[in-house]
Structure 1
Amino acid sequence: MFGSSADDERTGPSDRHPARGNHRSAGLRALNDSIDRIDDSATTAPDVRAAAEELLVRKLRSRSLSASEARLILRGVDQDGARLDAGTVDDIIDEFTRRGYLDDAQLAGQLVAAGIERKGQGRVALSRALAQRGIPREVIDAALDELPDDDAERALEYARSKARSLSRLDADTALRRLVGQLARRGYNGGIAMSAAKTALAEATFGRPASGVRFVDSD
């Protein structure tokens, strides 16, 4: 489910996304043709629904959106004082979802992959990041369930990448800082502490006897 991904702050569009030029469906071609013909004066068009759909396609061309984010955009459309009613907003969301332009499950997968590969995040941080994008709880849980149960391994990999830069500090300060960094990335206390101790011990291995050594007191 998880391959390489773009930055989670600018998650790339899927193959079914309006930004993909190689999508050949008649519906998408019609949408794109409509958008390509409009200019800045389109915002003064009398049809508020058409203007709202055009705006949403423009947004989707540059960044994937969750259904919740798309809904907020649509609710904010004001066309000469006219706004979309709730039923019309729902209709547009349903239509864009049916066409595959909005796909919370796919977006969740992209964000999880990006969080792991680019930021070394654990499950807690990943869950929080997806929730902040308005992805439903059940979709978040399904995306996280696809992950192997290797938080400890990912935490250790991240800790190893940071341990050497902390080697100039005294043992307690280095351990505290590294545990804090791991905690901020969503690793629980036990995993963060174990990974930090292991990584710092590895970073100091081979130093002269007077060097700092990290010994697990357990």
Structure 2
Amino acid sequence: MARAICLRALTGAAKTRQQLADLLARRGIPDDAATAVLDRFGEVGLIDDAAFARAWVTSRQAGRGLARRALRAELRAKGVDGEEAEQALAEVDDDDERAAARRLVERRLSSLRRVDRPTATRRLIGMLARKGYSGGLAAGVVRDVLDETGFGTDDPDPDLHDPDLLARPAWDT
């Protein structure tokens, strides 16, 4: 029974040993039977927490732009131990983290065109903080992107001062 439960769970996506142990406990499988099945699955390579951690870090860092701190917390919640988690997190260096933060800010910036610079700065830093970035890194990346794009340094709506644009009918613009 424990074997069938684990195989079914592993069909959808890779799982950590801890996730499978928790599943077996919820299903009422005795500890000794669960341990025997989990040990065997580990021996044959169906459970590999180190590989799970590497894949998780790669996927979540690239896809969601999460910082190492957030990735570490997610791995801990999935039951990946400290050493395996740290080895997986070592694949993400400071440059990768900064580049991911920059992509997140650049992607979000277009939706903030109607707010002033302090509001945009606060919202962008908050977004990065929720993704696990440190305050210093977040503030630096936001400042750099806003400076490079000239966000908030020019007239908030230059079209208001263009007499040619104002003279044309709205459907003509």
Q: Same-fold call, TM > 0.5?
A: yes
Give the RMSD, CA atoms, in angstroms.
Answer: 1.9
TM alignment of 1:87-98, pairs within 5 A? 87-98=32-43
Runs of 4 or more consecutive aligned structure 1 residues displaced over 6 Å after TM superposition:
none
Find the counterpart in structure 1 of residue 10 from structure 2. 60
Q: Distance in 2 between matches of 1:92 and 1:126?
A: 28
1:127 is displaced (CA, Å) by 0.8
Instruction: Provide, for residues 79-110 of structure 1, a one-character-per-residue CA deviation record: whole Å limited to 9, x for no partner.
Output: xxxx41x2322221110011111111111111
Find the counterpart in structure 2 of residue 11 from structure 1. none
Q: Distance in 2 between matches of 1:116 and 1:126?
A: 8
Find the counterpart in structure 2 of residue 154 from structure 1. 100
The structure 2 residue matched to 1:177, chosen from 106, 123, 126, is 123
SS of the equivalent of 1:141 reads helix
Correspondence 1:77 to 2:30: no
Find the counterpart in structure 2 of residue 29 from structure 1. none
Q: TM-score, normalised by structure 2?
A: 0.82
Instruction: Provide, for residues 107-157 of structure 1, a one-character-per-residue CA deviation record: whole Å limited to 9, x for no partner.
Output: 111111111111011111111111121111211111111223322222112
Find the counterpart in structure 2 of residue 13 from structure 1. none
Instruction: Provide, for residues 189-208 of structure 1, a one-character-per-residue CA deviation record: whole Å limited to 9, x for no partner.
Output: 00000111122223336x88
Correspondence 1:120 to 2:70: no
Q: Distance in 2 between matches of 1:208 and 1:180?
A: 21
1:75 is displaced (CA, Å) by 1.7
Q: Distance in 2 between matches of 1:181 and 1:209?
A: 24
Find the counterpart in structure 2 of residue 27 from structure 1. none
Q: Distance in 2 between matches of 1:208 and 1:63?
A: 48
SS of the equivalent of 2:15 reads coil
Percent sequence identity is 29
Paired residue total: 156
Correspondence 1:198 to 2:144: yes
Residue segments in structure 2 that go unaligned for 5+ positions in a row: 158-173
Residue segments in structure 1 that go unaligned for 5+ positions in a row: 1-50, 213-218
TM alignment of 1:45-56, pairs within 5 A? 51-56=1-6
Amino acid at match of 2:10: L
Correspondence 1:130 to 2:75: yes
Task: Name the CA shift for 1:169/1:103 in 2 (closer, same or farther; >3 Å).
Answer: same
Task: Name the CA shift for 1:171/1:90 in 2 (closer, same or farther; >3 Å).
Answer: same
